[in-house]
Structure 1
Amino acid sequence: MSRTPPYSDNALAVAITQSHSWRGVLRTLGFSATSGSTIRAVRQRADALHLDHSHFTGQRRWTDEELAAAVQASDSWAQVADALGLRGGSWQATLRAHAIRLSLDIGHLQSREPAAGMPVPVSGPALSHLPRAGSMLAAAWFSLCGYDVSWPLEPCRYDLLVVADKPMRIQVKTGTVRANNSWVAWLSSTGTVRRIYDPDEIDYFFVIDGSLDHYLIPVAIVGGFHVIHLSAYVQYRLPHLKG
């Protein structure tokens, strides 16, 4: 014997008219909107009364047969969505899940429309950006050599901590200016007064010049210098990556 629902058919019809979802209907009728069993019971009663709820949002608006026909006639998920009158790019996962449930052949559908490709930047890399990229280039070089690289969590005098046989404190510098046929690199830190680095603060300077050559210079070799000409330190130039 079926139980009489604790609401009238008229109250259900009014709630459906005033709501945009089954959860809204439950709230209007005074039920908890999180009860799945109550939603099923209310919907079954509404269907038995032939009450129109097509205005509800978030409902599936196509039949399994319509989906099967759209999948068979389309070459991409975008075309499937268009055939079903769907707009926006968020439908693919839902459509694909239903297609798999129905065991439809979807092998011919493209996951997405062919991408036009990312345009090549008009300006390209510029030497003026080398100071910003210096630490990343240095970290990449050490990583390619198989060393562990870390950045300090708090401000300190070195830029990188490289772990080889023992930790090495690395200060990264770049040289983008030429003088007397040599790239020039400033080693002192900027500020109100330029300050040189003490051997107790760092172990090496990793210098990148405008030709993207790399140098690893012990701080003891250039101690006390504010600026150096890199042509005088070719013995500290690092090898390039070989393919």
Structure 2
Amino acid sequence: MGGKTVASLRNRADLLKFDYTHLYGKGHRRPVIAAVTDERLRELVLQSRSWNHLAQGLGYAASNTKDTGWRPRVEARINALGLSTEHFQGRGFNGLAPLAHEPVFTADPTPERLRVAATGKAIAWFSERGYTVSLPVEPAVYDLIVDSPNGLDRIQVKSSAAADRGVHCSRTLYDTTRPGSASTGRYTRRPYEPGEIDYFFIVMADGGMYLLPYEVIGRSMKITVGARYEQFRV
């Protein structure tokens, strides 16, 4: 904005008796800071979240706040007024206002989502105990590979939200020999065969988790997780 424009606006403001002493203009930093009243300074300090944010409230453009020549004078006034800046954020805070809306991730966990979350819970359980967990790149019989003291163990993750605590320990296969539609009718359930996996990791809706060696379940298609398996609870 040119000097003539500024002068014209100033003259117009004078004519209308508008107060423009709080406005920041090039070459007028010291007068603008001096013109800030104690009441206004108290308000700005309470509202600001950093020195950078306060500088912008005083009239500095964001790009100019690295010039801290204004700070000793303002800080002296703040101290004289007995104001606290303990709530100011540290260096690097950009002065942006916090989010005005409520957090969006407010959904509660539901039994229907347990199947999707079970693998993540299993990964977390092994990882928290220092075991290296890997995911197969291509479709495999098992869900996870865990580097254990015995070598590489294949882990199949199962979950259940059933009221009877029943867990399906079978897998779904596409059987081209079965009659029916190509989209649904040819799927069938089969047990896990010996040598295909080493452990079942079972996640229950109540938060209980179980690590069962394959031999405990074997070719069973379904089990009920009760007292019989309590020794395998982790």
Range class of TM-score, shorter chain: 0.5 to 0.7
Q: 2:65 aligns with which of 96, 114, 118?
A: 96
CA RMSD of aligned residues (A): 3.6
**Residue 200 to residue 115, structure 1, CA distance change in 2 (3 Å):** same
Q: 1:171 aligns with which of 146, 149, 156?
A: 156
- Give the drift of 1:95: 4.0
- Give the drift of 1:217: 0.8
- Give the drift of 1:177: 0.4
Q: 2:201 aligns with which of 206, 209, 212?
A: 206
What is the TM-score when the length of structure 2 is the normalising length?
A: 0.59
Q: Which amino acid aligns with 1:186?
A: H
What count of residue pairs does the alignment treat as equivalent?
170
Bigger RCO (CA 8 Å, 6+ sep): 2
**Residue 96 to residue 83, structure 1, CA distance change in 2 (3 Å):** closer
Q: 1:146 aligns with which of 121, 124, 130?
A: 130
- In structure 2, the residue corresponding to 1:217 is in which secondary structure? strand
1:155 and 2:139 correspond: yes
- In structure 1, the residue corresponding to 2:163 is in which secondary structure? strand
- Give the drift of 1:117: 8.0
- Give the drift of 1:207: 0.2
Q: Which amino acid aligns with 1:96?
A: T
The residue number in structure 2 matching 1:4 is none
- In structure 1, the residue corresponding to 2:190 is in which secondary structure? coil
1:229 and 2:221 correspond: no
1:66 and 2:29 correspond: yes
Q: Which amino acid aligns with 1:168?
A: D
Query: Within 5 A, what are the aligned runs for 1:1-243?
Result: 62-63=25-26, 65-66=28-29, 69=33, 73=41, 74-75=44-45, 76=48, 77-78=52-53, 80-81=55-56, 83-84=58-59, 91=62, 94-99=63-68, 102=69, 104-105=71-72, 108=85, 110=89, 111=93, 112=95, 113=97, 118-119=102-103, 123-165=107-149, 166-179=151-164, 183-191=165-173, 192-231=187-226, 232-238=228-234
**Residue 117 to residue 147, structure 1, CA distance change in 2 (3 Å):** farther
- Give the drift of 1:195: 2.6
What is the TM-score when the length of structure 1 is the normalising length?
A: 0.57
**Residue 175 to residue 80, structure 1, CA distance change in 2 (3 Å):** same
- Give the drift of 1:174: 0.3
**Residue 83 to residue 167, structure 1, CA distance change in 2 (3 Å):** same
State how far apart, in whole Å, the 2-side matches of 1:98 and 1:189 are. Answer: 66
- Give the drift of 1:143: 1.6
The runs of 5 or more residues in structure 2 that have no matched partner are 6-23, 76-84, 174-186
The runs of 5 or more residues in structure 1 that have no matched partner are 1-46, 53-60, 239-243
- Give the drift of 1:154: 2.3
State how far apart, in whole Å, the 2-side matches of 1:177 and 1:130 are. Answer: 11
- In structure 1, the residue corresponding to 2:215 is in which secondary structure? coil
- In structure 2, the residue corresponding to 1:143 is in which secondary structure? helix
- Give the drift of 1:123: 4.3
The residue number in structure 2 matching 1:17 is none
Q: Which amino acid aligns with 1:126?
A: T
State how far apart, in whole Å, the 2-side matches of 1:220 and 1:205 are. Answer: 10
Moved more, 115-124 or 165-174: 115-124
State how far apart, in whole Å, the 1-side matches of 2:117 and 2:109 are. Answer: 11
- Give the drift of 1:80: 4.1
- Give the drift of 1:210: 1.8
